[in-house]
Every structure is written in C-alpha cells, then in structure tokens.
Structure 1
Amino acid sequence: MDKYTIIHLKRKGQSNRKIASELGIDRKTVAKVWNNYQSAQFQLVSRPDLTKEEIERLTEEIVNHSYNSQNRINLKLTPEVFKRIADILTDEEEKKRILGNRHKQKLTATQIHQMLREEGIDIGLTTVTNAVRELKAAKEVFIKQEYEFGDRLEYDFGEVRLVIDGKMQKYYLAVFASPAGKFRWAYLYTAQDQKVFLDSHVRFFAMTKGTWKEVVYDNMRNVVSRFIGKNEKELNQKLIDLALYYNFEINVTNCFSGNEKGYVESSVKKLRNSIFARKYQFESLDDAQNYLEEQLTILNEDSLFEEEKAYLRPVNFNYELAEILVASVDKYSCIRVENNFYSVPDYLIKKKITVKNYLDHMLIYSNNTFVCEHKKVNGVKEYQLELSHYIKTLRKKPGALKNALVLKQYPQLHTIYQTHFKAKPKEFIERLIQLQDEPLDVIIAQFEQNTIQEAISKSQLHESVLINSINQLQTLSHLMARRYPHG
C-alpha cells in the first residue's frame, strides 16, 4: 500500500517533500521509490529483447513494496475523527447560509487537515480529502462524463447461467469496458475469486498490448481487503502489485454507486443478453468460451478500439501469475496438484520436479528444463494422463496395455487397440513410438488408415488365394477331362 500511495501522489504532481510530510517518511525514500519505479517501467516498455531473468528482476523492482515504515503516521480514520470532519462541514454550511452561496471564504480540504493536526490528530491529507469528498457527495448530482482515449477502463463481474455437457451451472463473465473506445470484452470463468480476477487482467492486457491510465472497480473483495472507519479502504495487495506492474491507477467507486462505472455496468447486461440469450447450451466450457470470443469480435466491429490503441501505455511482457510448487513423482509417474493427478515422463519416477501452477494449466520443469504442459481438470482425485509419458514402461510391459487407465483416457485409441491389436500389443506400442511426436488427431488418423490398408491387403490376399484356387481347380478339371475323356 505504501509504495502505491507514493506513486499515486507523484503522478498527481505532488513534491517529494509534501508526500514525505503526509506519509510520515523520509523524502529520500520517496525519491528512491519513484526513481526506481520509473527506471524499471521504462526498461519493460522500451526493451522487447529482455531475458526471462531480467523481466523477473524488473517485476520484483516494480511490485516490491517493502521499506522501513516504523515511524510512519497512523492513517486510520476513526469514527470520532470522521464525526469531527462532518462537524466542520456542518459549520461550513452555516457559514454559507450567513455569507451567501458565492462567498470566497470556504475551507479547503488542506485547511481542514491543518485544523485537525493543530487539534493533535495525526492523519494524512489524502485521508482527509477522501472523507470530505464522501461527506459532500451526500447530495449527489449525476453529471454526464466524457473520457479521452486511453484514460479510463472499467471492470466488473457478471453472472450467467449456461447448460454445459447437459448440466446447468452458474458461470461468471469478467468484463472490461472502455467508455472512450466503445470497446467491450469478456472472459468466461467458473468462479470470480482472486485467481480469476488477476488472470482476466493479464489475458486482457496481453490481447490489447497496452493499458489505460486508470482502471475503475467497485468495492468487490478482490479490490478492497477491508474498510478502515467509514471512509478509507485498504486495497488488496495483489491488485496493487498488478497496478504497479501495468502502470495504471486504481479507482474504486463509492459504495452502492454503480453509476460511477456505468459503462461497464451496462456492458455486463448487454454482453449477457446479446451473446447468451439465444444460445446457452454447449458441449464443453471450451466451446462456450470460443463462442463468446466469436460474438465479441462481431459486437466490437463498430468500436473505436483501433484508434484508441495509439493512446495506451505499451505492454511488452505478461505479469507472471504462476504459483511455484515442488512436487514428488509417485510410482505411477504422476504428481498431485490441487487434489488431482497429472502424468510426467516415466524417467522422472521418485524425483522432485518444479510446477508453475496457473489458473487453468500448469508447466512442469525438471532441473530448470521444460518437461511438459497439462491443462487442469476439475473435480477431486481425477487423472490427466499423457500416453507418451508411459511409452518406455509399456515397451517393457506390453501386457499392461490391456487395462491401462492411460489408454482408456483416449477412447478412440482404446477402441482401435481392442479391435485390432489386443493380441499384438507390442506392434501397437511400436507404432505409438513412431508417432509419439504427432498430435492426437494425426495419431488416430494414421492408425485408422493403416488398419484400413491392412484390411484391404488381407481382402486382396484372400481374393488372390481364391482366384488361384479356382484356377487350380479349373486346371485340374481340364487334366482330368483329358485323361478320362469318357468319364
């Protein structure tokens, strides 16, 4: 929170001295945080040739929020302080009644802050300013807003009910909306937790290749960790890290003020009704997600997003969201991740490997070398097995194919094996070895083609044998007729 506050105030043009005074820290700390942040951001944006290690170092520099805050002023807005500010504003209303609406002697938030400090109350100017703004907004008048390209992006979740694989279930749309660009985009998820929240941002900014100056949110749990007093909000640290990396301001609406991000509020309804009102049944979640992307492309044909791209802050590298795990490979050549099992090549049995665990997939490494990738499965104690991971073992134990779970996870291959190779498992395995670098559909097609060719060859062989037999019978008949002309 401290680092984000410094950067937020610097973007607003405040001096190091003023920020240091308000936050109760050394101004050299302010200068160091700001200079390091600017340097790291510049390198991320201007150097597309950065190595993986350099990106990780710069990311750490950007999101690292630790510094000595031992002597920092307490910024909590207590109910008593909030009431004191409210009393001051009540006095201001009385002053306005006496002096008239146009009088020039109105107290500013800075003056109110100074009054509180003189009364012995330790509180920051930003906290006072936010409290004054909220109290003055009690009688709110809505004013139509207009935004420039690249200024504002709004975010929200929306619920949608779909029937997937015959089962009705609630799903969630993570919706992004640019008011200036008239651009709307969404991703479909099974939850709306923090992993989903962060994943949707990384995917969206990877697609747009740029970020907006500010992103606007409501008071969802992924944004606000807790409320302090009646006014101040403690932002979620993972969102702060994300904002620091992508260089955008976090704008949180007032409670129950959906109008403050009205474009995305209406976008949720529009996308839900335009896309899923007519079609709501799908074979799989992947089908639903692909359908959503197709429809979004059509809906955005008239948007101004292509023009807005030139105004976005460039993004060259994705923010790394992976959870790093160390897993042990069991005797079945599987690792356990989140209560499900995933295969790895059988030469890794009883070894420890590194897993980069993402929301919907994982990357597996051994001794810093990439091994394989798995799409994550839903459920508990489910298995995701890759046939190529067991080739070495199956070659030694071909009889294990008969009841192997890994083969049953490929129904078409399993049928081919049961129909044509049950009595010759070694031949089946050798063909798999020849095709192991090919995608599954190519492997199946090759097996089917070979099976058909063999069937034709056998048929031709049978036909040839039959013809030969007939010819031999005819020849024998002629010979017999000559030898015994009168029967």
Structure 2
Amino acid sequence: MDQKQKIIKLYMEGESKRGIAKITKKSRNTVAKYIQEFEESKLEDVRQLPIPESVMKPPTYKKRIGKSKVLTEEIKNKLRKFITDNEWKRNHYMKKQQMKIVDMHEKLLDAGYSISYTTVRNFVNQETAKSREVYIRRYCEPGYEVEFDWGEVKLEIDGKLKAYSLAVFTLPYSNYRFARLYQSESQVCVLDVHTKFIEHVDFIPAVFVYDNMRTVVKSFIGNEKTITDSMVNLSNYYQFKIRLCQTRKGNEKGHVERSVEFIRRKAFASQYSFTSLEAAQDHLLQTLNKLNLRDHHEHEQKHIELMRKEKEKGQKVTMTPFDSADLIECLIDKYSTVVINQNHYSVPEGHVGKYIKAKAGAETIKLFIDGCLEAEHQRNWGVHQWKMDLYHYLDTFKKKKGAIAQSECLRQAPSQIKKLYNDHYIGKEKEFIELLFYIRENNKLERVLDAVKQLNTIRTGYVSTESILFVCEQSTPVKADGFYRDETAHQSESNMKAYANMFNQEEEVAHYG
C-alpha cells in the first residue's frame, strides 16, 4: 500500500497524527499535509470539473522544464521553413520531392549546427501534428449517390503487354461495384460507361460524384468550376446532379478510390494474360459478380441485395440508353475508307469522293450513307491502323483479280476465309471471288464450310465453287457423322454420285449412315 494511502487509512481508524508519524516514519508536517488535503477534498465536488479525485493517489511532482540549449529559435525557424516547403510541394504535384526528417537533420548539420536527429524528429512531429486533418464520418443514403473514377491496369492481350483504363462505379451505401475496361479515357468512353452502368443497375442515383477530371470539368475560374457540355447533356438526359470533389481531396469519394485498387487486385493480380479484350471483359465481369455476392462489413447483407434496396428508392429508368457516340462528317478516300482519329475504316465501294456521316462510339464505328447504316467496325484506339472488310471490295476484285492475294482485306478476313483461299483457291481467284459473292448475298459461310468438308470426303482437291454451290443448294445437308438414312439423305447421296460421274471420278462416293 502507498504511504499516503496508509496515512489516511490510519487517520480514519482514529490514530493520532503523532502516532501515525511514528508508525510510518514520516514527518508530522507530511502527515498533517495529507490529512488536511483529505479533509478538504471531501468538501469539493469535482464531478463537473476536468480534474480527477486524486487525493487517494500517490503524490506526484512537477517535471522541471529546462531551457533548451540546442533547439534554438533559429533552428526552429529553419525547420518550420522545411515543413512549409513540403506543404507547397504537396499542393503542386511534387509529393515525391519532399524532404524527410533525416534530410532536414542532414541539412542542419551541413549548415554547421550541432543537433541530434531525435531532437529534430520530436520537434517536426510536434509541429506537423498541429495541422493534421479531421475527417467527418459519412452517412450514406440508399439510392442517393454513386462515385466514379478511373484506374490503370496492365494486361497482356494476344501476346502484347499494354496499359488499359479501368472505369469503376461504386454505390456508397451498398458498396456494389461495376467496372469496365477501355483503351482510352476520352469523353466518349466516359459517356459510354455511364450508359452501361445505368443499364446494368436499372436505376439512376440522384447524384454522381467525380474528381476534377478533364472529361468532367472544362475550366477552373477561381473556385468556380465549369462542367463539360457532354456531361451536362448526359446529366440532363438522365436527370441526375453532379458533385465535384475539392482539389486533391480524393477521400471525398473514398469508396470508389478503394474500389479501383480492390477490383484491379482481385481481377488481374493472378491472371493478366488474355486472348482478346473481350475475354478480359468477361473475366472482369465474373470477378465482379463474385465480389458483389459477398456480405457487407456493416449491414451483414450481400452487396447485390443492398443494391436492390437502393434500386427501390432510386429514380427509375424510363428512357432509352443515351447515345454516347460522336457524329462526324467524313470524306471517302481513294481506298474507299474514311479516316477517324488517324485510323482508316472501309466503306462499301462505289462512293469514293463522297461525304458521309460516321458515329464514333467507344467500341464501334458506324458509317451511314444517305441516312442508311452501310458499315460497322470495331473501333481501333491506335494510330495509322486499317479496318477493312473483304466484302466491301468484291466488285473491284472482279476487275483486279490478282490484287486479292496480297490485299489488306484478305489479311484481315476471318481465318476460315483465309484458310479456304490458301487450301483450294490459290491461282483460282476468279472462282474464289464468285464464292465470296455467294457468301455475302446469302450469308451462308457456315454452310459453305460444311460443303467443303463433304467434298473433301469425296476426293482431295475436288473442291470448286461450282461443286460448293451445288451442295449448298441441297434442301437438307448431308451429315457425315449420322447413322439415320431417310429419303432426303438417300436422294442427296444419289445426287453426289451423279455429280461425281459427270466429271469421270474414279473414286466412289462416300456412304453415310
């Protein structure tokens, strides 16, 4: 037991001050002092005062604060200047060039001052602690708000490593996440992902939150910010409001800031190589489905279930999706292509020198001639690339048959078409062009490929345009792997035999069934 507590205990038991002094071996003045403090404390109510009931606690002594001999006002001012410089660098995108405490200490030593690192550290920590930011806990109302942000992810698509943009939406209440990959962060991509998000969740939050990205904020004039025309049109169409974060205050949309890193890690940390961008999109969608089926850390419900509650309180979607494409007027050049953002896209021949309308979306390019959709291409976000459709040039190939072998059109054609040409039509370009006309007019590529397989079973090298067309025009295709022989199959086999006899074939027609 502490001596002070022992003295008061003896006093309460009726012991005299002189007796207490003898027992505790303390001076009578000390005993009297403790007893007096005890009696006075019983008369004072300290429950509403910022002091403790300390009469029963051991005595404490004030620590002597001596005058600092090393940390002079001159050194303090220098350290404050270093701290101010660091703050300026943070505000001017030079965060990585700030001085650390060890750099400040070395700077003082180089200037001839004798001071320890610990002294410098304690003073800097004390100064910076004065200006630490206070954060306000948010209340998230269901269906009221959604946050948007971009992130970057590096993927290997078809063997090529490239950086892609990850567009992410997060609903703060449910923490439900939606994301999509893009090859650009341009305005049309921002509009496109908004339409896809609204179509996905099937309701419109009242407020969309952004940082000060260029595709949303057109200009700064003092503290006034001007929204871009495209975002104004989008918000007017869907009837939502736009809220912008303060400059360099990403914590004001902290849910989506965290979601960008979280989704990127969960989706692409272990798998980053894909055969195509569409395969990467599918993998991202599957990952999001798994994440949204997890339980919310506070509400103890699945994110997707909480999102459905938000949907009940949010604005219903009563309009068709917003058209996010840019309308461009283009001139068809001598290659029967139009140039959009330094990339060429083919147009059906016969319109060279004519101006047409093009709708350039985030994923597709649609070409209109006299108000009719005549061609559609997947958008290319590179530069000086060519997107050419083989069927757009068939009339020209009839006049320039030799050009097809080394044409860019054939190089970009489907792999089945290229294989068909390389296996059966080298040196027979006229027949090949006739077959392409048939495929384009009747949309029977799969039927043609089946006919080629059937003809190859008769005899290798027996494939020709005339024989392919004959097989394709049969009412019922012959199944090479079937075992059921009906009247139609029997007649088809007889036709094949007769056709083989016309060309004096020695090989016997293959029997099916």
TM-score, normalisation: structure 1: 0.61
**CA distance, structure 2, for counterparts of residue 453 and residue 161 of structure 1:** 45
Check whether the contact 2:347–2:375 (CA below 8 A) recurs between aligned residues.
Answer: yes
Residue in structure 1 matched with residue 506 of structure 2 by the alignment: 465
Structure 2 counterpart SS, 1:403: coil
Residue in structure 2 matched with residue 192 of structure 1 by the alignment: 185
1:30-51 alpha-carbon deviations (Å, 9 max, x no partner): xxxxxxxxxxxxxxxxxxxxxx
The 5 A counterparts of 1:254-265 are 254-265=246-257
Residue in structure 2 matched with residue 353 of structure 1 by the alignment: 356
Q: 2:271 aligns with which of 275, 279, 285?
A: 279
1:240-297 alpha-carbon deviations (Å, 9 max, x no partner): 3322222111111222322221211121121111111111112222221221122212
**CA distance, structure 2, for counterparts of residue 289 and residue 398 of structure 1:** 40
**CA distance, structure 2, for counterparts of residue 449 and residue 190 of structure 1:** 37
Check whether the contact 2:459–2:507 (CA below 8 A) recurs between aligned residues.
Answer: no
Q: 2:232 aligns with which of 232, 237, 240?
A: 240
Residue in structure 2 matched with residue 452 of structure 1 by the alignment: 453
The 5 A counterparts of 1:102-141 are 141=134
Distance 1:312 1:289, change over 3 A: same
1:253 matched to 2:253? no
Structure 1 gaps of 5+ residues are: 1-137, 468-487
Distance 1:250 1:404, change over 3 A: same
Structure 2 counterpart SS, 1:402: coil
Distance 1:236 1:353, change over 3 A: closer
**CA distance, structure 1, for counterparts of residue 419 and residue 379 of structure 2:** 25
1:433 matched to 2:434? no
Structure 2 counterpart SS, 1:406: helix
Residue in structure 2 matched with residue 392 of structure 1 by the alignment: 395
Richer in helix (by share): 1
**CA distance, structure 1, for counterparts of residue 321 and residue 310 of structure 2:** 20
What amino acid maps onto 2:165 in structure 1?
Y
Residue in structure 2 matched with residue 342 of structure 1 by the alignment: 345
**CA distance, structure 1, for counterparts of residue 392 and residue 335 of structure 2:** 10
**CA distance, structure 2, for counterparts of residue 174 and residue 211 of structure 1:** 18
* TM superposition outliers: structure 1 runs of 4+ over 4 Å: 459-464
**CA distance, structure 2, for counterparts of residue 455 and residue 225 of structure 1:** 63
Check whether the contact 2:458–2:507 (CA below 8 A) recurs between aligned residues.
Answer: no
Residue in structure 1 matched with residue 406 of structure 2 by the alignment: 403
1:104-146 alpha-carbon deviations (Å, 9 max, x no partner): xxxxxxxxxxxxxxxxxxxxxxxxxxxxxxxxxx986433223
1:130-176 alpha-carbon deviations (Å, 9 max, x no partner): xxxxxxxx986433223222101011112222222333332221110
Q: 2:288 aligns with which of 296, 307, 318?
A: 296
Residue in structure 2 matched with residue 157 of structure 1 by the alignment: 150
**CA distance, structure 1, for counterparts of residue 440 and residue 507 of structure 2:** 39
Residue 232 of structure 1 deviates from its aligned partner by 3.2
**CA distance, structure 1, for counterparts of residue 381 and residue 411 of structure 2:** 18
**CA distance, structure 2, for counterparts of residue 149 and residue 173 of structure 1:** 25
Query: What is the aligned-residue identity percentage?
Result: 35
Q: 1:306 aligns with which of 308, 313, 318?
A: 308
**CA distance, structure 2, for counterparts of residue 197 and residue 272 of structure 1:** 19
The 5 A counterparts of 1:78-117 are none
**CA distance, structure 2, for counterparts of residue 375 and residue 148 of structure 1:** 40
Residue 407 of structure 1 deviates from its aligned partner by 1.4
Distance 1:208 1:433, change over 3 A: same
**CA distance, structure 1, for counterparts of residue 271 and residue 442 of structure 2:** 35
Residue 177 of structure 1 deviates from its aligned partner by 0.4
Residue in structure 1 matched with residue 3 of structure 2 by the alignment: none
Residue 383 of structure 1 deviates from its aligned partner by 1.6
Structure 2 counterpart SS, 1:243: helix
**CA distance, structure 1, for counterparts of residue 147 and residue 457 of structure 2:** 63
**CA distance, structure 2, for counterparts of residue 432 and residue 266 of structure 1:** 52
Check whether the contact 2:208–2:242 (CA below 8 A) recurs between aligned residues.
Answer: yes
Distance 1:220 1:339, change over 3 A: closer
Structure 1 counterpart SS, 2:405: helix
Q: 1:215 aligns with which of 208, 213, 218?
A: 208
**CA distance, structure 1, for counterparts of residue 218 and residue 198 of structure 2:** 24
1:182 matched to 2:175? yes
Residue 437 of structure 1 deviates from its aligned partner by 5.4
Residue in structure 1 matched with residue 370 of structure 2 by the alignment: 367
**CA distance, structure 1, for counterparts of residue 375 and residue 194 of structure 2:** 26
What amino acid maps onto 1:454 in structure 2?
L
Structure 1 counterpart SS, 2:164: strand
**CA distance, structure 1, for counterparts of residue 352 and residue 216 of structure 2:** 42
Residue 186 of structure 1 deviates from its aligned partner by 0.8
Structure 2 counterpart SS, 1:234: strand
Residue in structure 1 matched with residue 322 of structure 2 by the alignment: 319
Structure 2 counterpart SS, 1:348: coil
Check whether the contact 2:338–2:346 (CA below 8 A) recurs between aligned residues.
Answer: yes
**CA distance, structure 2, for counterparts of residue 251 and residue 211 of structure 1:** 15
For these two proteins, the number of residue pairs brought into alignment is 326
**CA distance, structure 2, for counterparts of residue 257 and residue 466 of structure 1:** 80
Residue 414 of structure 1 deviates from its aligned partner by 2.2
Residue in structure 2 matched with residue 40 of structure 1 by the alignment: none
**CA distance, structure 1, for counterparts of residue 292 and residue 429 of structure 2:** 53
Residue 447 of structure 1 deviates from its aligned partner by 4.1
Structure number with the bigger relative contact order (C-alpha 8 A, sep ≥ 6) is 1
**CA distance, structure 1, for counterparts of residue 430 and residue 384 of structure 2:** 31
TM-score, normalisation: structure 2: 0.58
Check whether the contact 2:149–2:211 (CA below 8 A) recurs between aligned residues.
Answer: yes
**CA distance, structure 2, for counterparts of residue 237 and residue 205 of structure 1:** 20
Residue 237 of structure 1 deviates from its aligned partner by 3.4
Structure 1 counterpart SS, 2:350: helix
Distance 1:146 1:405, change over 3 A: same
1:423 matched to 2:438? no
**CA distance, structure 2, for counterparts of residue 237 and residue 408 of structure 1:** 41
**CA distance, structure 1, for counterparts of residue 381 and residue 230 of structure 2:** 25
Distance 1:289 1:214, change over 3 A: same
Structure 2 counterpart SS, 1:349: coil
Residue 343 of structure 1 deviates from its aligned partner by 1.2
Residue in structure 1 matched with residue 221 of structure 2 by the alignment: 228
Residue 446 of structure 1 deviates from its aligned partner by 3.9
Residue 183 of structure 1 deviates from its aligned partner by 0.9
What amino acid maps onto 1:387 in structure 2?
L
